[in-house]
A and B are shown apart, each in its own frame.
Chain A
Amino acid sequence: MKFYDVADLAIRNLRESVFRNSLTTMGISVGVASLVAMLSLGIGLQQLASRRLQKSGLFDTVVATSRRDLRNFREPREDGPPPAESPSLDEPARKKIEQIPGVVEAYPDIRFVTEVRFDGKAHLTMVAGVPFSAKNNNDAFDGMQGNFFSSDASPEVILQKSFAEELLVITPKPGTDNTSIAELAKPLLGRELTMRYAERTSSPSSSLGQSDRAAYSVVSRQKALKIVGLTDLDPDSMRGTARARIFLPLKLAQDLHVMQSNLRDTSASDSPSYTSLSVRVKNPNQVPAVEDAIKKMGFSAFSIVDATRSMRQFFAVLDGFLAIFGSLALAVASIGIVNTLVMAILERRREIGIMKALGASDADVRGLFFAEAGAMGLVGGAVGVTLGWAIGRLINFGTNIYLERQHFPPAQIWSVPLWLVLSAITFSIVVSLLSGLYPASRAARLDPVQALRYE
């Protein structure tokens, strides 16, 4: 039989027992829906985590460091010059790194502990320079109160929520996190705080003489800074114990020439030399190539792309579990298909006998039952995907209501990509066809004489 005829007869047969076949198809739909809903949440959560990590710089940042390690911690490495001969990670080197294809920017890591005075009280905290590009690249600044820095060198600061609480002397109750960021922002935005810091200046009158570039003096300074923003999330979350709670524009932070352990030779202001640079790459795929290029220049380079492998592994396992639980319902539905088709064989026994007497081959009869199973799979799959999409959306909606009540920004924890739609429908058809295997071959092997006698 031609494909059209098989499909036509199959649809006609399905219509004949429309109620029973609808129930079976509904069973498949529920199975596919649970699969799609589970996977859409798994994928959504993975995307949410990836987005967060990507914006945190885990995926697209390479850290370049000079091999001139003061502590001489590292073993001499074979893939580059020995530490003493390696080039200096200075401003020309930074510019050269920025020329590497795929590199968006390379900026020094400025981070120091200092004293901040607010309302006459002193607070000791970590301060970090933030590149102007972080406005769009770090999602901690997405839902912040107030504004991002007006320019790369403006005397402004953004505070992290916990530091704001410290300034206002608010102690959150243990186990709760209910202080609204908006409430914190009201008394702080627009106000000034004073940062006291140690500036490192060149010291021409050093007793060690002009040739010694390491000679410097430390001068105590203070700078008034305007509070322009307040972040709920931590823009510095990946820094561990070195996390900053006050953020300055990077250019301003550089110009302060703050005495810090990881910035050397700032006294030679024309060409400061850094111990490390953060190199932001356009696409995470380009990270290994950029890493190699930096190593070829004689610096050490590392990225944390590998650290995400375990995260991806976790989500693969999670998706696997979700898929297994989702598939259980589909497995139950497939038993429904077998049952429906076996019933159909019993009911249509005589019809099968007639068809065989008229010249239908085993393949024709088998094809017919296969097509019926496949059609149920196709319709069940399509309805199931729609249902699963709706369930996922509903869960997302509910979760966001909950997040809003908990004063969290809304999040998309659900995603139904096209590949999920297509593979869910394909999976549904394949499972249905497999379920139709036994009934179809049973129908094909019916003895026509026996079948014709059946009343």
Chain B
Amino acid sequence: MEIPGPNSLAVRTENVCRHYQMGEALVRAVDGISINIRAGEFVALLGASGSGKSSLLNLIAGLDRPTSGAVIVHGNDLAALSREQLAKYRLRSVGMVFQSFNLIPSMSLLENVELPMRFAEVDRRERSALARQSLERVGLSGRLSHRPMELSGGEQQRASLARALINRPKLLLADEPTGNLDSRTGTEIMELIHSFNQSLGMSVLMVTHEQALAERYAGRMVHLADGRLVADVSNDDVSNDDVSKKSSAPPPRGETK
């Protein structure tokens, strides 16, 4: 996979659609979205429940395939990749953080963070050292042998972040990373994501309900409604809370805060 330059495109979607057949009805989860994300950019995806945020994130993560249109990440059309190549893409190029942390309960934090490196066939000693470093970076060096259930939500999400970054991905995809956390812990996590975005130069695409967090940390906010892009606003342009004022698209519906 090619290495993106500072101004090159990390992600490009071209009129991408993801439609599901649910009995008689056709659900248009993603319905013709075209966006570009530059390398190193921090983009927040906002929208109501069912607006297609997570579906779009899954398409960019290579977990799902579009019904039509293209998803091009670092110059590679994901639709053209085989299942095996998509797995490699997820392993090498993408880091994922989920709302419900998704740590494996039977493994310690260290083992959870090491897991992607097992798939990457990294040597045992090397991966142990890297996982320790990564957990140290998120402030969990004293919790290496704890199981997820023994930790607070904030600690679990930090471990999940350490795991997402372990293979040094160029793109971090976060699906409501603060959704299960109180506001103070949520802010801590956002600070971490922001600092990694700044220090490691990775692109971040974050799905969130919380407009305030998005405005504070993201460089750009993309609003979706009913599977369509309704606003794409650079944070530099945003003044106060008035999104519609700077956007050419109609204001998003639903529970944006």
A residues with a Cβ closer than 8 A to B are 1-2, 4-5, 9, 12-13, 16, 350-351, 354-364, 448-449, 452
When chains A and B are docked, how far (Å) is the Cα of A424 from the Cα of B155?
Answer: 49
Of B83, B98, B116, which one neighbours A359 at CB under 8 angstroms? B116
When chains A and B are docked, how far (Å) is the Cα of A361 from the Cα of B104?
Answer: 17
Residue B92 is within 8 A (CB to CB) of chain A in the complex:
yes
**B115 neighbours in A (Cβ, 8 Å):** 355, 358
**A355 neighbours in B (Cβ, 8 Å):** 115, 119
Residue of A nearest to B96 (CB): A357
7 closest A-B pairs by beta carbon, nearest first, are A359-B91, A361-B87, A5-B118, A359-B90, A358-B116, A448-B63, A354-B102
User: Is the beta-carbon distance between A449 and B120 smaller than 8 angstroms?
Assistant: no
Shortest A368–chain B CB gap in Å is: 10
Of B64, B91, B121, B163, which one neighbours A449 at CB under 8 angstroms? B64
User: Is the beta-carbon distance between A361 and B119 smaller than 8 angstroms?
Assistant: yes
Shortest A371–chain B CB gap in Å is: 13
User: Is the beta-carbon distance between B119 and A364 smaller than 8 angstroms?
Assistant: yes
Residue B19 is within 8 A (CB to CB) of chain A in the complex:
no
**A358 neighbours in B (Cβ, 8 Å):** 90-91, 96, 115-116, 119, 163
When chains A and B are docked, how far (Å) is the Cα of A9 from the Cα of B119?
Answer: 11
Q: Is the interface of B mostly helix, strand, loop or mixed?
A: helix
User: Is the beta-carbon distance between B90 and A356 smaller than 8 angstroms?
Assistant: yes
Residue B84 is within 8 A (CB to CB) of chain A in the complex:
yes
User: Is the beta-carbon distance between B106 and A12 smaller than 8 angstroms?
Assistant: yes
User: Is the beta-carbon distance between B102 and A1 smaller than 8 angstroms?
Assistant: no
When chains A and B are docked, how far (Å) is the Cα of A104 from the Cα of B83?
Answer: 71
Shortest B59–chain A CB gap in Å is: 10
Residue B194 is within 8 A (CB to CB) of chain A in the complex:
no
Q: Do A362 and B102 form a contact, CB below 8 Å, given A1-B118, A356-B90, A357-B90?
A: no
Of A12, A13, A356, A452, which one neighbours B87 at CB under 8 angstroms? A356
Q: Do A362 and B83 form a contact, CB below 8 Å, given A12-B106, A354-B102, A449-B58?
A: yes
Of B84, B90, B92, most A-chain CB atoms within 10 Å: B90
User: Is the beta-carbon distance between B104 and A360 smaller than 8 angstroms?
Assistant: no
Residue B61 is within 8 A (CB to CB) of chain A in the complex:
yes
Q: Do A361 and B88 form a contact, CB below 8 Å, given A351-B104, A449-B63, A452-B98?
A: yes
**B134 neighbours in A (Cβ, 8 Å):** none
User: Is the beta-carbon distance between B104 and A354 smaller than 8 angstroms?
Assistant: yes
**A9 neighbours in B (Cβ, 8 Å):** 118
Shortest B139–chain A CB gap in Å is: 22
User: Is the beta-carbon distance between A357 and B63 smaller than 8 angstroms?
Assistant: yes
**B120 neighbours in A (Cβ, 8 Å):** 359
Shortest B207–chain A CB gap in Å is: 13
**B156 neighbours in A (Cβ, 8 Å):** none
Residue B203 is within 8 A (CB to CB) of chain A in the complex:
no
Shortest A372–chain B CB gap in Å is: 14
**A360 neighbours in B (Cβ, 8 Å):** 87, 91, 119
When chains A and B are docked, how far (Å) is the Cα of A354 from the Cα of B107?
Answer: 13
Within 8 A of A (CB), among B93-119: 94, 96, 98, 102, 104, 106-107, 115-116, 118-119
When chains A and B are docked, how far (Å) is the Cα of A356 from the Cα of B102?
Answer: 12
When chains A and B are docked, how far (Å) is the Cα of A9 from the Cα of B124?
Answer: 13
**A356 neighbours in B (Cβ, 8 Å):** 63, 87, 90
Shortest B29–chain A CB gap in Å is: 10
**A357 neighbours in B (Cβ, 8 Å):** 61, 63, 90, 96, 98, 102
Residue B167 is within 8 A (CB to CB) of chain A in the complex:
yes
When chains A and B are docked, how far (Å) is the Cα of A1 from the Cα of B64?
Answer: 23
**A452 neighbours in B (Cβ, 8 Å):** 63, 98, 102
Within 8 A of A (CB), among B63-98: 63-64, 83-84, 87-88, 90-92, 94, 96, 98
When chains A and B are docked, how far (Å) is the Cα of A168 from the Cα of B118?
Answer: 85
**A12 neighbours in B (Cβ, 8 Å):** 106-107
User: Is the beta-carbon distance between A16 and B92 smaller than 8 angstroms?
Assistant: no
8 contacts between A and B (CB under 8 A): A5-B118, A351-B104, A359-B116, A359-B167, A360-B91, A361-B119, A448-B64, A452-B98
Residue of A nearest to B120 (CB): A359
When chains A and B are docked, how far (Å) is the Cα of A357 from the Cα of B64?
Answer: 10
User: Is the beta-carbon distance between B83 and A2 smaller than 8 angstroms?
Assistant: no
**B124 neighbours in A (Cβ, 8 Å):** 4
Residue of B nearest to A448 (CB): B63
When chains A and B are docked, how far (Å) is the Cα of A374 from the Cα of B120?
Answer: 23
User: Is the beta-carbon distance between A359 and B87 smaller than 8 angstroms?
Assistant: yes
**B118 neighbours in A (Cβ, 8 Å):** 1-2, 5, 9
When chains A and B are docked, how far (Å) is the Cα of A393 from the Cα of B106?
Answer: 42
When chains A and B are docked, how far (Å) is the Cα of A2 from the Cα of B106?
Answer: 20
When chains A and B are docked, how far (Å) is the Cα of A364 from the Cα of B120?
Answer: 11
**A13 neighbours in B (Cβ, 8 Å):** 106
When chains A and B are docked, how far (Å) is the Cα of A441 from the Cα of B162?
Answer: 31
When chains A and B are docked, how far (Å) is the Cα of A6 from the Cα of B130?
Answer: 20
**B102 neighbours in A (Cβ, 8 Å):** 350, 354, 357, 452
User: Is the beta-carbon distance between B88 and A1 smaller than 8 angstroms?
Assistant: no
Shortest B216–chain A CB gap in Å is: 27
When chains A and B are docked, how far (Å) is the Cα of A452 from the Cα of B124?
Answer: 27
When chains A and B are docked, how far (Å) is the Cα of A358 from the Cα of B121?
Answer: 13
Shortest B246–chain A CB gap in Å is: 33
Residue of B nearest to A358 (CB): B116
When chains A and B are docked, how far (Å) is the Cα of A233 from the Cα of B45?
Answer: 94
When chains A and B are docked, how far (Å) is the Cα of A355 from the Cα of B104?
Answer: 9
**B64 neighbours in A (Cβ, 8 Å):** 448-449
Q: Do A362 and B84 form a contact, CB below 8 Å, given A12-B106, A351-B104?
A: yes
When chains A and B are docked, how far (Å) is the Cα of A12 from the Cα of B115?
Answer: 13
When chains A and B are docked, how far (Å) is the Cα of A361 from the Cα of B88?
Answer: 7
Residue of A nearest to B127 (CB): A5
Q: Do A359 and B119 form a contact, CB below 8 Å, given A449-B63, A449-B64?
A: yes
**B167 neighbours in A (Cβ, 8 Å):** 359
User: Is the beta-carbon distance between A16 and B119 smaller than 8 angstroms?
Assistant: no
When chains A and B are docked, how far (Å) is the Cα of A364 from the Cα of B98?
Answer: 22
Q: A361-B119, A449-B58 are in contact. List 17 more A-B contacts (CB 8 A).
A: A1-B119, A12-B106, A13-B106, A354-B104, A357-B63, A357-B90, A357-B102, A359-B88, A359-B116, A360-B91, A361-B84, A361-B88, A362-B83, A363-B84, A364-B87, A449-B63, A452-B98
Within 8 A of A (CB), among B106-150: 106-107, 115-116, 118-121, 124
When chains A and B are docked, how far (Å) is the Cα of A438 from the Cα of B85?
Answer: 23
